[in-house]
Amino acid sequence: MRFLPVFLDLKTGPVVLIGAGELLRAKLRVLAAAGARVRVHAIDRDHELGLSAEDAARVEIATDDPLTADLSGVIAVVCAGAGDVGIAMSARAKSLGLPVNVMDDLEHSSFIFPAIVDRGDVVVAVGTGGTSPVVARRVREKIEALLPARIGDLAEFIGSFRKSVNERIAEFPLRRRFWERVIDGPIGTAVLAGRKAEADASLKAISDPSAFARADKPEGSVALVGAGPGDPDLLTIKALRALQDADIVFHDELVSPEILDRIRRDTTRVAVGRRVGKPGIGQDAINKRMIEAARSGQRVVRLKGGDPFVFGRGGEEVEALRAAEIAYSVIPGITAGLGGAADFEVPLTYRHEATRITFLTAHKARDAEAVDWSTLTDTRMTVVVYMGMTAAPSVRAGLFAAGRSPETPVGVFARVTRPDAQSAIGTLRDLPELVRRIDGGPAILIIGDVVRHAGTLRRQTLKKNSAQIISDLLDAAE
């Protein structure tokens, strides 16, 4: 290790920045983001620095020669696009014992700039000893993907309580255990989910911090996670983190094997729910098993196809968790209607042609017959029907009765976003026949003029690269 990673308090004195053009401005933005006071020597005399008013207030424009300028109180020197002036300034800074960085010049630098992940109070610096900034950026990108967006908020939250809690817990190991339980339990989950007031109230409600830290039984929680329509590349980063953190995952039968492969290897997997025509354990039983697992201290994921709150019974599960006073969070997923529209290039809205969207479910004929089709007569409305294959004749009859034209464009889109995705496009008159062309579900129906714009699948172009990215993220997480 040639360079020791350190964090420099840039508020203790000014930083001298010497250079020209966009290279100078880029370094200035980095320094300004860290709250530095900066003395800028623009050797090209271009003082248009593009700073906000707040950052500009901490910047001093210097017009004297940096090689003879007074450096009293300066804490570091940075040269970016300074040419020979940078090399000469490096020698002067070193003679005065000042740390100096000459951009892309290790020989004349005594410190280097890392690739930075900035999450407020949490900052990660990635370096390669100056040998390959591009490699450092690639590592930073993976870390960016793995870190929760609010990890800095969590650090700030703990910092606000740290002194008062530490005063109440004398033993250091017990103090550490207290903060581990806070971070890994429902309080930390609440902060990361943006529910800071809830977390604040929960921590203040801990009357005996030492007893809380000594408790053997961990606090469990449940995450309702949307798995999306099937393509594992469409999982959100937050969903991926939940799958990696889970102790047990209750998953729908329709969640694809590729997505199940994203679950941590030693996590317990339990298939729940059901497929059309097959029995399931029932929603009440699912709720009961989730609650029991959480009460035993496990981190539970309820993994649902599509989005939990779009025909996914997520609302019922949230109500059960609330009633049982179980900590929970909801992580949305891409619902099949949106995934299928993107996959087959069907714009659900189209200017002057489709200005409204209706999502409905009709996986049985009696469900279709219960729909008030009279509300769907507007020809500028796109209708997206979930689980409508078996009820296709009833869907057609309902729309005919409502006055929709037999020539209304219709698409049946099966297994959307997956490698074996399939489509059949025609008119409302032919809907049952279109369904018969499909080799199996799940499928959605899209009804409306926008189906005329449907294109062909173009899934393969980025598949290999995106799959490799996910693999790399999982390797990093392990």
Please check the confidence at residue 289 and state whether its pLDDT lies above 80: yes
CA distances from 192 to 40, 185, 331 (A): 38, 11, 12
What topology does CATH give the domain 151-214? Answer: Helicase, Ruva Protein; domain 3 (1.10.8)
pTM of the model: 0.64
Tell me how far apart the terminal alpha carbons of the chain are, to the nearest angstrom: 24
DSSP string, 248-263: EEEEETTS-HHHHTTS
Q: Residue 467: what pLDDT?
A: 47
Provide the b/e sequence for 41-55 (b: ≥16 CB within 10 Å): bbbeeeeebebeeeb
Confidence of residue 462 (pLDDT cuts 50, 70, 90): very low
Confidence of residue 203 (pLDDT cuts 50, 70, 90): very high
Confidence of residue 227 (pLDDT cuts 50, 70, 90): very high
Please check the confidence at residue 104 and state whether its pLDDT lies above 90: no
Please check the confidence at residue 192 and state whether its pLDDT lies above 50: yes
Please check the confidence at residue 456 and state whether its pLDDT lies above 80: no
pLDDT in tens, 389-418: 888 998 999 899 888 899 999 999 999 999
Q: Residue 275: what pLDDT?
A: 56
Q: Rounded CA gap, 80 and 26, in Å?
A: 9
Superfamily (CATH H level) for 221-334:
Tetrapyrrole methylase, N-terminal domain (3.40.1010.10)
CATH number of 338-453: 3.30.950.10
CA-based max dimension of the chain? 89
Q: What are the domain boundaries of the chain?
A: 14-113, 151-214, 221-334, 338-453
Q: Residue 464: what pLDDT?
A: 38
Q: Are strands 381-386 and 443-447 parallel, antiparallel or unpaired?
A: antiparallel
Q: Residue 459: what pLDDT?
A: 40
Q: Exposed, middle or buried by CB within 10 Å (0-12, 13-18, 19+), for 64?
A: exposed
Q: Residue 146: what pLDDT?
A: 78
Please check the confidence at residue 476 and state whether its pLDDT lies above 80: no
Q: Residue 365: what pLDDT?
A: 58
Please compute the mean of the pLDDT values over residues 6-28 and round it to a whole number. Answer: 91
Q: Which CATH number fits domain 14-113: 3.40.50.720, 1.10.287.3610, 3.40.350.10, 3.40.50.300?
A: 3.40.50.720
Q: Are 18 and 25 a contacting pair, CB within 8 Å?
A: no
Best mean pLDDT range from 182-191, 312-321, 460-469: 312-321
Task: State the amino acid at position 305 in one-letter form.
Answer: G
Locate tokens 């939250």: which residue?
A: 157
Q: Rounded CA gap, 44 and 30, in Å?
A: 20
Which residues, in sequence order, are CB contacts of 359 under 8 Å at separation 6+? Answer: 310, 311, 335, 337, 384, 386
Least Cα distance to 224 among 133, 321, 91 occurs for 321
Choice among 103-112, 246-255, 271-280 with the minimum mean pLDDT: 271-280
Q: Residue 457: what pLDDT?
A: 44
Which residues, in sequence order, are CB contacts of 425 under 8 Å at separation 6+? Answer: 409, 410, 411, 412, 434, 451, 454
Other beta carbons within 10 Å of 420:
9
Other beta carbons within 10 Å of 158:
18
Please compute the mean of the pLDDT values over residues 450-473 and round it to a whole number. Answer: 55
Please check the confidence at residue 90 and state whether its pLDDT lies above 80: yes
CA distances from 406 to 357, 382, 399, 400, 449 (A): 19, 15, 9, 7, 12
Q: Residue 84: what pLDDT?
A: 93
Q: Are 432 and 396 a contacting pair, CB within 8 Å?
A: yes
Q: Residue 465: what pLDDT?
A: 42
Confidence of residue 278 (pLDDT cuts 50, 70, 90): low
Please compute the mean of the pLDDT values over residues 105-126 and round it to a whole number. Answer: 88
Confidence of residue 157 (pLDDT cuts 50, 70, 90): very high
